[in-house]
Structure 1
Amino acid sequence: MEEPQMKRKPNVIDCHLNSLKTTKKPLNVVMNDMTSQPLIPTYVGHIKNVRDISKIVLLLNQKVPVKELQHLKRVRKQEVVICPTEYVNDMSIEDYLCKCDEGFKDIFGAFEVKNVPKLPPKLKKQYEDAKMFWPCNFHPDKYLEKLYSGQFFTEQELDSHRRYMEVAFLAAKWFDVQNVAVVVDPTISSVVAIGEDNRKCHPMQHAAMLAIDNVARTQNGGAWQSQMDDDTFIDVKLLDYLKDLDVKFGHRRFKSKQEEDTGPYLCTGYDVYMMKEPCVMCAMALVHARARRIFFAIDNEEDGALKSRVKLQTVTSLNHRFEVFTGFL
């Protein structure tokens, strides 16, 4: 009697693909930690006569302006925020105030150092925590609240994001590589370009780098040679492999370089779906390409630039920043 054939053990990508199809988890935004508020030690003065509050606040605003703490209310009952302790250096707070203006003499009964919120609260929870230390001004940001809630996307949008991520995993399986980047134009709900990890042939050809170059090819640019379908700029054999997916492929048509064109600059307005979190080089390339949002499924614990090692998207000095989402698996 013939023994039954052993079933082939599914590989990692197959397991991830199965998870993508069955998961009901929401996607999580990757941003700065907003669960806690940093505090700063600050001198607080106790006013002797409550009738002097208006005069004292006016004098403080003129002589000791504290621009970095404008999110705080200056007065709480008979207490008033004077300045962070770092302003005073080696002087006493009394000497510091007298140096600023003689009008401060004898108007405070006592001084103490209190920790107050260093930054303005951006979320309601931050505001609730901050006001336990000192009263704050707060202007709700509905978009940010929704983004942080974990319920940012509708079920229909989540299904769409998972389908595009499925393209990335299937392409990685077809190319037999560790990472793939899929660029989507959300205005036409279509995959514009795909880039695979090709470092075995060229050290710079990471998935995101190739994807950006392939986007440039759709706009009559591009620096690297590749064997692509002349119509979609995506490998024809790969397109055939992906034909059963409920996903549209193709890009908007752009005029030649000689003609006037008002099309996007590289990835402006585009979403990028990556199987694996990009490294610093790729993340910076996506910044320069003006990507709108980055989605990734697997953390890159060694080199990840959007969550694991650093969070490039939170660097305020960059002239472009994108939103980052994960949590597919």
Structure 2
Amino acid sequence: MVKKHLNPTKIDFIQCIVEDCLWQIRDTKYVDIPDLVTAWSVDINPKESKSVIPFVRSIQDLDPQSFLHVKRIKKVDNSTLRVLIGSSEFLPDRQAFDELMANVSFRYENVRDDNKVPKIGPSTKTLMLTWSEKYWPLVWRGNPNDQILNDYIFDMKEIRSILSQIAEESRKVMKNAGNEEVPVVSAFVNPKSGRVIISNDYRHSRSPLDHSIMVGINEVSKLEQTRRNRVRDGTASQEELEQGETYLCLDFDVYTTHEPCSMCSMALIHSRIKRCIFINPMKGSGALKPESGNGYCMHSNRELNSKYEVFQWVGEDLQVPDVDPQLCA
């Protein structure tokens, strides 16, 4: 984790633009509305805190909610401290809680499972104080999104190269096929091998569901099945053996010429990708930008159990063919 002022990557944290080329797409209308999770707590005597703190540290990595922005201990009165043990995602019921606490070395009482805690911190210190008063005491570590951008790795040379490849392929499709094919092209990058898989749109010549994103996901699965077959029959290359199994499209970077529709955006959720970068927005049918389509912002929807980062290319013009804004890309 590098400090912001030491990060060699140029990042505009106000506009959320990286190297004047990548604009982070997120649903800002919910940024300062807390996304709450219920959590377990116990009350202890202040003298027990020396035993409690190591225990909390030992279990915090097991919890899906990191709570790094949360003060784990708050004062109730002069003789009582309340300790946040874990989220309901980590401890779904009393049995799980009791099993976790079975061998602790400290005494506790007043077990509660109704504490409401923000999953992530707010964007301002003022709001942090408000949430701390209303829900559970928080720690101000700066705007959480700033840290997300600051921690990301951006290989701008590779990003430009892949976007240029799919833009060129998109132009070829438009030139060679005319109006018969949709010039939407995507690229899937395997984080383990670095292999780039280019996928075109085949909805007019095959299934109506064969958008380029769907074709790419299917191609990734076919390649993985082929690799596993080779491993099983002993014909796999050393590279294939070292690569290991690919689970869906876990942590893949996906590049696409046009903002994905709701079907493709949801498919990327199910595929567990890490990041999607697109060139042209699709105002009528897109499902990632707040102002596109019905404003789904599918990649950051709180009702879904997985998320991915999204960026729009706003650098030099890559000359991607325009398509009907109502077309589902």
Normalised to the residue count of structure 2, the TM-score between the two structures is 0.50
CA RMSD of aligned residues (A): 3.9
Question: Does residue 302 of the first structure (1) align with residue 274 of the second (2)?
Answer: no
Structure 2 counterpart of 1:217, one-letter code: K
State the SS of the aligned residue for 1:125.
coil
Equivalent-residue separation in structure 1 for 2:31 and 2:307 (angstroms): 21
The structural deviation recorded for 1:74 is: 10
Of 292, 295, 298, which aligns to 1:312?
Answer: 298
Report the counterpart of residue 138 of structure 1 in structure 2.
Answer: 138
How many Å separate the matches in 1 of 2:313 and 2:117? Answer: 29
In the alignment, which residue of structure 1 is the partner of 2:208?
203
The counterpart of 1:25, out of the listed 11, 20, 28, is 20
Distance 2:152 2:307 in 1: 20
Percent identity of paired positions between Structure 1 and Structure 2:
25
2:224 aligns with one of 219, 222, 234: 219
Distance 2:143 2:159 in 1: 19
3-state SS, counterpart of residue 272 of structure 1:
strand
Give, in angstroms, the shift of residue 280 of structure 1: 0.8
Aligned partner of 1:194 among 194, 198, 216: 198
Q: How many Å separate the matches in 2 of 1:318 and 1:35?
A: 16
Conserved in 1, the CA contact under 8 Å of 2:190 and 2:253? yes
Aligned pairs for 1:191-270 (under 5 A) are 191=196, 193-201=197-205, 202-220=207-225, 253-256=227-230, 263-270=245-252
- Deviations along 1:38-90, one digit per CA (max 9) or x if unpaired, are 7xxxxxxxxxxxxxxxxxxxxxxxxxxxxxxx99x999xxxxxxxxxxxxxxx
In the TM superposition, 1:2-81 aligns within 5 A as 24-33=19-28, 36-37=32-33
Partner of 2:188: 183
Q: Any stretches of 5+ residues in structure 2 without a counterpart?
A: 1-17, 35-69, 77-115, 175-181, 235-240, 316-329
The Cα of 1:184 is off from its aligned counterpart by: 0.5
Cα distance, 1:128–1:178 mapped onto 2, change above 3 Å: farther
Aligned length: 204
Match of 1:171, SS state, is helix
Larger Rg: 1
- Correspondent of 2:254 among 272, 277, 284: 272
Q: Report the alpha carbon displacement of residue 257 of structure 1 after superposing the two structures with TM.
A: 8.4
- How much does 1:35 deviate? 5.5
How far, CA to CA, are the matches of 2:233 and 2:188 in structure 1?
25
2-structure distance, mates of 1:274, 1:147:
26
Structure 1 spans left out of the alignment, 5+ residues = 1-22, 39-69, 76-117, 222-252
* CA positional deviation for 1:128: 2.5
- Distance in 2, matches of 1:140 and 1:324, equals 26
Partner of 2:110: none
